[in-house]
Each structure stands twice: as C-alpha cells, then as structure tokens.
Amino acid sequence: MRLHLRRREEKKIASIKNWTLIYGRRKTGKTTLVKSALKYDTYIIIGDVNNAITQSDEIVRIEKALEEVKRTLKNGGIAVIDEFQRLPEIYWSLIASWAPSGILVAIGSSYGILTSSPP
C-alpha cells in the first residue's frame, strides 16, 4: 500500500502546473519526493533568516538565492524553495509578484508554515 501511495504522489508532483505548497511533518520525505519526481530548474534550501543553500551546495545570502529563483520564474521555469517556513515574511510578497508564467514549489513543515501569517 505504501509503495502505491508513493507512486501516486510522484505522479502528482511530476505534473505540477501551478504554484504549489507541499507541507507536512518534519522528516517525512517531502524533499526526497520532490527531488526524485520533479524536473526543476532551480532548487534552494533556506538555511536561516540570512542564508540559503544552492543546488551546488554553496551557502549564499538569501537575496542572491532568490535572484536565481526570480530569474527562473521570469523565464517560465520551475523553482523549488525548501524549508520555506524559514524564509522571512518580508520576502513573501516579493516572490508573489514574480512571473506568473513560472512555477514555484515551496516545501515546508506544517508547523512552521501554518503558524506564520499569510503574505
């Protein structure tokens, strides 16, 4: 049963066509699922309020990482922001204003996402 559910989830992830929030309890495989099922152009992990980790495992300022997300979205690509609940709210409206043609996938823990105020 678990394998069947996983395949169904992978199909849903692979066919994402809109901005999507994937949330749930910590350490349940959200990141692994997205990385294995989605063909993304940009992937960043929010490390803390100041820093992010890029696809190439480089630690950079959040602003620099978000510039890559912005570029990807404006070009109609797919960008993933992992640990989205760590992203300071000041950036939420900014991200929401970027390229409706691109696809943003935000991954986060349910506690962190659901206890934050909406943008």
Question: pLDDT truncated to tens, each residue of the chain (119 aa)?
Answer: 454 457 788 888 888 888 999 998 888 889 999 999 999 999 999 999 999 999 999 999 999 999 999 999 999 999 999 999 999 999 988 998 886 789 999 999 865 555 555 44
Answer yes or no: is 94 within a domain.
yes
Does a structural domain hold residue 72? yes
pLDDT at residue 119, as a whole number = 45
- Note the pTM of the prediction, 2 decimals: 0.84
Token pair in block for residue 67: 């510039």
Using alpha carbons, select from 17, 105, 34, 118 the residue that is nearest to residue 69. 105
What total number of domains does the chain contain? 1
For Cα atoms 56, 30, 61, give the angle at the middle one, nearest 5 degrees: 35
Q: Which domain covers residue 105, as residue numbers?
A: 2-111
Q: What CATH number did the domain enclosing 31 receive?
A: 3.40.50.300
Confidence at residue 29, expressed as pLDDT on a 0 to 100 scale: 85
